[in-house]
Amino acid sequence: MEEAFGYSVEVLKRLVSIPTVAPQGDHYEEAAELLARELESMGFEVAVERVPAEYQREKCRHASENPRFIVYGRRGEGGPALHFNGHYDVVPGGPGWTVTEPFKPVVKDGKLYGRGAIDMKGGIAAALGAFKALQLSGAWPQGLRLEAAFVPDEEIGGECGTGYLVNGMGVTPEYVILPEPSGLEKPWHGHRGILWMKVRVKGRTAHASTPWHGRNAFLLASAIALDLQQALAAMYAGRRSKYRIEPEESARPTVSLGGEAGVTGGGKTNQVPGEFYFTVDRRLIPEETVAQARGELVGVLTWLSVKHGAEVEAEEVISAEPAINEPGELYEALREAARQSGRVIGQPVVCPGGLDMWYYTVKGSKALAYGPRGELAHAPDEHIDLVELRFLVEAFARLPLTLAGALQRRT
């Protein structure tokens, strides 16, 4: 186990040093090649699939023109598949780092620092470390196929990552583990959905010295945004998910306005803005659908356009359905693997954010997300505690064996 853990740390350092920033994707191929080599070295049959350019243009509007690569590995024949999914793309490094630079990994005080150390190259390294432990021990599971999929673009919706893996390549495993930063106390068995929209409010441009000749789109958009917030808050007040979502506030639908906002095409101090935009971030509880949320937003905006006498347009930017599943034997096997590795885990809860899980659950896969603490995901000085990484390597190495044993007992 110690050799496998050391391998995991070294792989994580190499992964963090590759700046696989979404949506640019400048170094995706380099990361994909590294991951494919590691899987092949442990006896996996590996395919590196380039997402077709036509699919990328049609489905992945927020991706750059750089190619997208999916690494898919299989080991073993017959039986159901236990499939580990990890995304190798990361958010930009950003300012504010004090321990190291974002893509120069450093180990300090028992922690490995660098962008993606938690979200989620650390999870990928834990899975690879688990495979290494199985290889070193020779204890590969019987009656269970092992799979790994390492994908891009989760940070921008996943259409050119897990979306293409499932819908384009037809990969629909029976059991899925996503080593996302859930925290080690309990796994996630679902996640909230997401709908991003861009709202444009049109006025009339004029010179600022004669503002009566124009109609200020900024002021119109501000009034519409305030009314929209109030109308949606009233609409969502009576809704609460029956599922356990942590933190508790996430059990209700939420909306956030104005994460991005500005004068379309850029403004000037001496000009009355003729068009202003703002964004809407709507999070869905598992009982809702994207179509429902979209219809509600468009309906309220249509009413507000009449109320304020303004032309209003709404464009969908990103959407993903909520996910929920009852993982049954997968959870029981994970709980037993964690117990054997020295930790007791609680009942699954729903993730307040979004994941790639929904691509699998709509196809019938049983899925759990389980990984390190995630407080510093996307933040300066992102790091993973190496004690947690070692635990995950061991727990993930035991999981195929506990799941195979559970399936054999059922038959």
pLDDT confidence of residue 62: 86
Residue 77 has pLDDT above 90, yes or no: no
For the chain, percent of residues with pLDDT exceeding 70: 100
pLDDT confidence of residue 121: 98
User: Of 66, 81, 82, which Cα lies nearest the Cα of 152?
Assistant: 66
The C-alpha atoms of residue 318 and residue 254 are separated, in whole angstroms, by 16
Structure tokens at 88: 């190798």
Active site (catalytic) residues:
89, 154
pLDDT in tens, 259-310: 999 999 999 999 999 999 999 999 999 999 999 999 999 999 999 999 999 9
Residue 411 has pLDDT above 80, yes or no: no
> Average pLDDT over the chain, rounded to whole?
97
Domain 193-320: CATH class, spelled out: alpha beta
pTM (two decimals): 0.93
For the chain, percent of residues with pLDDT exceeding 90: 98
pLDDT in tens, 193-208: 999 999 999 999 999 9
CA distances in angstroms from 12 to 104, 161, 266, listed in the order given: 11, 20, 41
The structural domains of the chain, with segments of one domain joined by +, span: 2-191+322-410, 193-320
**pLDDT (mean) for 337-359:** 97
- Give the confidence band of 61 by pLDDT, cuts at 50, 70, 90: confident
Domain 2-191+322-410: CATH class, spelled out: alpha beta
Residue 386 has pLDDT above 90, yes or no: yes
* Same topology between domain 2-191+322-410 and domain 193-320: no
Structure tokens at 234: 């009233």
pLDDT in tens, 91-144: 999 999 999 999 999 999 999 999 999 999 999 999 999 999 999 999 999 999
pLDDT confidence of residue 33: 98
CA distances in angstroms from 61 to 9, 156, 159, listed in the order given: 35, 10, 9
Residue 410 has pLDDT above 90, yes or no: no
Residue 30 CB-density burial (10 A; 0-12 exposed, 13-18 middle, 19+ buried): middle
